[in-house]
Amino acid sequence: MIKTAQDMKSYKKLLDQALNDSFLRSALDEFNTAYRENRPNVYKDLDFNSIRDALAENKDSLIPFLEILYEEFKLNAEKAGTTVHRAKDAREANEIIARIARENKVQKIIKSKTMTAEETFLNDFLEEQGFMVTETDLGEWIIQLRHEGPSHMVMPAIHLSRYQVGDLFEEQTHSKVDDENIDKLVKVARHVLRPRFLDADMGVTGANFAIADSGTLGLVTNEGNMRLCTTLPRVHVALVGFDKLVSDLGSALGILKVLPRNATGQAITSYVTWIKGANQCLNTSSQKKQMHVIFLDNGRLSLSKDPVFHTALRCIRCGACANVCPIYAKVGGHKYGHVYIGAIGLILTLFYHGKENDRAIVKNCINCQACKEVCPVAIDLPHLIKKTYARVIKEDGKTPVKNFLLAKVMKNRKLFHFILRKAYLAQQPLTKGKPMIRHLPSFLEKTHGFRSLPVIVKTPLRDQWQTLSPKLENPSLTIALFAGCAMDFIYPNHGKDLLTLLKNANIQVDFPMNQTCCGLPAMMAAEEKTARTLARQNIHAFEGEQYDYILTLCASCASHLTHNYEKIFRETRGPARDLELFTNKIIDFSSFMDKVFKFPQTSQVIHKKVAYHAPCHLCRGLHVTNEPRALIKKAGYTYVPSKDEDVCCGFGGSYSVDFPEISSEILTKKLDNVEASGADILVTDCPGCVMQLSGGMDKRQSHVKVLHLVELLAGKK
Amino acid sequence: MTEKAVAVGTIVHEISSISQAVQYAVDLIKKKNLKTLACPGLDPKDREILLDLCKSSGLNLLEEPLRNHASSLDTALTWVDYGIAETGTLMLASDSEEIRIATMLASIHIAMLPISKIRQDTSAIEADLNDILKNDSPSYTAFITGPSRTADIERVLAIGVHGPVELHLLLIKDIQP
């Protein structure tokens, strides 16, 4: 039985367990890297983006009509002898299945892999009713023997080593198995399970597609067990979510193009099976199988009408959102979901299994956008996770202290900045006059001491601006700087470096003084009202002047201002025109320097190797990838690639404070990869990443220096 | 077709007659030290040829219903309906329980496909498949791509978990089934 933490304290304990499981850690880390490295090969002949958009559009056109598609499916399937049922919730679905079993005098049931039956905890229910249930998918069988839930939607036993599987199989067969040899372990399953197929009275499966215009099920599998489950027993029951309904074969084939590719890197699985009606079954008097399809609602139909969350029903269960998730790679599926795991699991858990099971896990998203990038049906997963979190808070009816403070402080810029200025004084006992805080008080050091912390400066950039950037007479370009809190209060030098770079270029750089935090931290905390207030304040702060660009050196701010403001106001019907004027002018530092400023190629060769860390919100948020690397080379440095360059650094704003254990692990891998590249300097173009990376390098006393790209271009080495 | 099928672990040979296919099956079974063979869907006259060969080689050509031989079924020889070149996939209408049992339980499946039945991709067989599905009678249609496989233990690919351990594809020149 699955037990998911329902509060942060017990969740943290479980996370610690996972982080200390060395097999899990290395297996999932390797999987994460291998999956991402293999992905371009898998899609080399296809245009993923256009397929994804077409699939999303197709799914969206079906979701409002699931009830109609159900009726159409039922009509067509029943013509061929299928009995079609609908179940409003898990219990009803399980009861229907048990009733079918009883009516057909079934004792032994075999199952092929179905997440929908995991969702309803069908096995537990059937076993309580006295039926003998055997999972026949290898991974599912393994976890059934261990009384666990799946830790991945496609590879349910990915958290286990061959030796753990070997021990289990020895118990089953009462004989020694060669647990070094995976091929032999697999053959054990073949031999032990074969008689179960032959003896079974009923087979239970899920389905990947329920095709309405013909009443056909489509099933996508590899092992061949599903084919046996649907052939040998006299009764076949398929439990299918309403969201699996598609209009026609063409829609199913469209999904089939990406499902195996995204899930396992296969162009197609070993078996794709199209089943319609009561097929031939020669050991019954009618010579026909008993064929039942049960459509499970369990919240899907109300979800289909939800203006925000209906897109979650696009999910085709490929599992890719877990495959690329840096957090999943550290803690595994049992700690990263309830039944459904990964990014989609953090969302669906609320709707299918209630707020208690989602309360803790839904907070565990670093917003790195990796899942969104690979989702084959374009679900905006990071955004929906935050919306889910907001809904959990609302349903719980208790505002977390953090949200209360965020709302109180952030909405009032003057109060917020007053507190930051006071923080300069408060940190004095810790800084000891150094530019970084190396040691925290002992009660914080253990969990938060994995990186040195930056220091809040005495004089923020805004207070120095007038003297730093005087008005020009006839500027060729007028830009406004969106500093972001980090540059303003921690790294004002980045602002000075920017002005050094632009000197003599006749570019006016303004600093609108009413600008405030972009609002991303509020959005990350699901503090939606505060995020909206901040968005409005910033849009107003940049009104009036005619700016050619609004430049920011923070990738997170840039991505938030560009994409999230639009989402915030779309959902509340905010100021459309002002918003567009504002967001259209936003430009990130690398794009500005490369495309607008046209940073020249230097003839000078600097004998230093530079590695690059691609900030999540730049490479995935804004799809800026070539420019920063080009700029490093133009400045005369040797750019050295490092492994997993575009994987999150583990910062994620307050994520690194809320989940320091995970943040620290993600950071360690990142720094190891950079050091292995042989780089002298690590460059990135987001002050948040600079904070995390330089804090980590400082703590491990590495020779690798961490710089913002603006510092490198301005001549710092 | 051949390239993609081989890439997913299918063993592909081009042959020029059904009698060659039958000979291939018998030779393979002998080589593998197996005993039994099922051939649902074969023409009676082709079955006769096969039966003679089996007899002379000491092999057992199983009688239908194959359900009765479920635990002793080693090899299946069947026609398939289409080849899908893009992915090396075979399409097999498996409405008959005999076809299903043979191709699912055997450890070796030998599939015969006339070269003229190879199509470029799924969209090229979509209309035919749709005709099958839109018919009001029950149907069970399989796309088969390589042998049965799993990567459920440590993501290591292992072949032959529940279905055939080997899939052989015999591409037959210029004849119709």
C-alpha B102/C-alpha B93 separation (Å) is 13
pLDDT of residue A543: 86
A174-233: pLDDT as tens digits? 999 999 999 999 999 999 999 999 999 999 999 999 999 999 999 999 999 999 999 999
Structural domain boundaries enclosing B77: 2-172
C-alpha A6/C-alpha A150 separation (Å) is 19
**Is the four-CA dihedral A458, A460, A465, A468 of positive or negative sign?**
positive
C-alpha A506/C-alpha A584 separation (Å) is 23
Reply yes or no on whether the pLDDT at B177 is more than 50: no
pLDDT of residue A574: 63
Number of domains composing chain B: 1
**Is the four-CA dihedral A392, A393, A396, A401 of positive or negative sign?**
positive
pLDDT of residue A534: 95
CATH number at residue B98: 3.40.50.10420
CA distances from A56 to A50, A165, A242, A592 (A): 10, 38, 17, 32
pTM beyond 0.90: the answer is yes
CA distances from A106 to A281, A377, B2 (A): 16, 39, 44
Q: Is A544 exposed, middle or buried (0-12, 13-18, 19+ CB in 10 A)?
A: exposed
A75 touches chain B (CB under 8 A): no
C-alpha B89/C-alpha B100 separation (Å) is 17
Reply yes or no on whether the pLDDT at A464 is more than 50: yes
C-alpha A531/C-alpha A533 separation (Å) is 6
What lies within 8 Å, CB to CB, of A329 at 6+ separation is A28, A29, A31, A32
pLDDT of residue B175: 58
Average pLDDT for chain B: 95
The domain segmentation of chain A, as residue ranges, is 8-42+319-394, 48-301, 609-713
Name the token pair of A52: 């994804």
| Residue of chain B nearest A141, judged by CA positions | B152
Q: What percentage of chain A exceeds 90 in pLDDT? A: 88
Query: What value, to the nearest 5°, has the Cα angle with vertex A169 and ends A165 and A174?
Result: 150
Residue B11 Cα, gap to closest chain A Cα (Å): 14
A530-552: pLDDT as tens digits? 999 999 999 999 987 789 999 99
Tokens 């067990």 correspond to A225
Reply yes or no on whether the pLDDT at B116 is more than 90: yes
B59-98: pLDDT as tens digits? 999 999 999 999 999 999 999 999 999 999 999 999 999 9
Cβ–Cβ under 8 Å, residues A58 and A252:
no
Task: Give the residue from B153, B166, B169 with the most A CB atoms within 10 Å of its CB, the best one to mutate.
Answer: B153
Contact criterion met (CB < 8 Å) for B161 and A158: no
**Is the four-CA dihedral A535, A540, A542, A547 of positive or negative sign?**
positive
Residue B88 Cα, gap to closest chain A Cα (Å): 9
B131-152: pLDDT as tens digits? 999 999 999 999 999 999 999 9
The secondary structure of A401-463, three-state, reads HHHHHHHHHHCCHHHHHHHHHHHHHHCHHHHCCCCEECCCCHHHHHHHCCCCEECCCCCCHHH
B141 touches chain A (CB under 8 A): yes
Which H or E element spans position A488?
helix A484-489
Reply yes or no on whether the pLDDT at A520 is more than 50: yes
Mean pLDDT of A350-354: 96
- For B153, the closest of A186, A272, A288 (CB atoms) is A186
Task: Tell whether B128 is covered by a domain.
Answer: yes
Residue B115 Cα, gap to closest chain A Cα (Å): 21
State the amino acid at position A606 in one-letter form: I
C-alpha A176/C-alpha A165 separation (Å) is 12
Average pLDDT for chain A: 94
State the amino acid at position A85 in one-letter form: H
End-to-end CA distance of chain B: 19
Contact criterion met (CB < 8 Å) for B139 and A277: yes
- A199-227 as b/e: b if 16+ CB within 10 A: ebbbbbbbbbbbbbbbbbbbbbbbbbbbb
C-alpha A241/C-alpha A31 separation (Å) is 29
Q: Three-state DSSP class for A246? A: strand
Give the residue among B112, B168, B121 at the shortest CA–CA distance from A268.
B121
Tell how far CA A697 is from the center of its chain.
26
Which H or E element spans position A135?
strand A132-135
Reply yes or no on whether the pLDDT at A573 is more than 70: no
A256 touches chain B (CB under 8 A): yes
C-alpha B165/C-alpha B11 separation (Å) is 11
Q: Three-state DSSP class for A87? A: strand
Task: Tell whether B177 is covered by a domain.
Answer: no
Reply yes or no on whether the pLDDT at B99 is more than 50: yes
Contact criterion met (CB < 8 Å) for A138 and B134: no
Q: So what CATH class is A48-301?
A: alpha beta
Reply yes or no on whether the pLDDT at B112 is more than 60: yes
Cβ–Cβ under 8 Å, residues A235 and A106:
yes
Phi, psi of A638 (to 5 degrees): -95, 120
Residue B148 Cα, gap to closest chain A Cα (Å): 5
Q: A138-145 and A182-199 helices cross at what angle (nearest 10)?
A: 90
C-alpha B84/C-alpha B65 separation (Å) is 30
C-alpha A169/C-alpha A167 separation (Å) is 5
Identify all chain A residues contacting B163, using CB atoms and an 8 Å cutoff: 223-225, 227-228, 270-271
DSSP conformation class of A612: E
- For B162, the closest of A183, A223, A276 (CB atoms) is A223
CATH number of A609-713: 3.40.50
Query: What value, to the nearest 5°, has the Cα angle with vertex B176 and ends B173 and B177?
Result: 115
pLDDT of residue A502: 94
Task: Tell whether B51 is covered by a domain.
Answer: yes
- For B104, the closest of A162, A195, A228 (CB atoms) is A228
Reply yes or no on whether the pLDDT at B176 is more than 60: no
Q: Is A703 exposed, middle or buried (0-12, 13-18, 19+ CB in 10 A)?
A: exposed
B107 touches chain A (CB under 8 A): no
B133 touches chain A (CB under 8 A): yes
The secondary structure of chain B, three-state, reads CHHHHHHCCCEEEEECCHHHHHHHHHHHHHHCCCCEEECCCCCHHHHHHHHHHHHHHCCEECCCCHHHHCCCCCEEEEECCEEECCCCEEEEECCCHHHHHHHHHCCEEEEEEEHHHEECCHHHHHHHHHHHHHCCCCEEEEEECCCCEECCCCCCCEECCCCCCEEEEEEECCCCC
Cβ–Cβ under 8 Å, residues A363 and A8:
yes
Contact criterion met (CB < 8 Å) for B154 and A182: yes
B149 touches chain A (CB under 8 A): yes
Reply yes or no on whether the pLDDT at A370 is more than 90: yes
Contact criterion met (CB < 8 Å) for A279 and B153: no
- A48-301 against A609-713: fold identical: yes
Contact criterion met (CB < 8 Å) for B151 and A190: no
**What is the interface pTM, i.e. ipTM, of the complex?**
0.97
Tell how far CA B116 is from the center of its chain.
17
Q: Is the peptide bond before A376 cis (omega within 30 degrees of 0)?
A: no
Task: Find the farthest-apart pair of alpha carbons in chain B and give their distance in angstroms, rounded.
Answer: 48
| Residue of chain A nearest B150, judged by CA positions | A223
pLDDT of residue A702: 96
Identify all chain B residues contacting A78, using CB atoms and an 8 Å cutoff: none
Task: Tell whether B69 is covered by a domain.
Answer: yes
Residue B153 Cα, gap to closest chain A Cα (Å): 6
Strands of the sheet containing A705-708, edge to edge, are: A638-639, A609-613, A681-684, A705-708
pLDDT of residue B140: 98
Residue B164 Cα, gap to closest chain A Cα (Å): 8
Contact criterion met (CB < 8 Å) for B153 and A160: yes
Q: Beta strand pairing status for A108-111 and A132-135?
A: parallel
pLDDT of residue B25: 95
Q: How many CA atoms lie within 13 A of A26 on its CB side?
A: 4
C-alpha A114/C-alpha B59 separation (Å) is 40
Which range scores top for mean pLDDT: A71-85, A416-430, A471-485?
Answer: A71-85
Q: What percentage of chain A exceeds 70 in pLDDT? A: 99
Which range scores top for mean pLDDT: A150-164, A207-221, A652-666?
Answer: A207-221
Reply yes or no on whether the pLDDT at A645 is more than 70: yes
pLDDT of residue A690: 97
Strands of the sheet containing B11-15, edge to edge, are: B11-15, B166-172, B108-114, B75-79, B36-38, B60-61
C-alpha A624/C-alpha A58 separation (Å) is 29
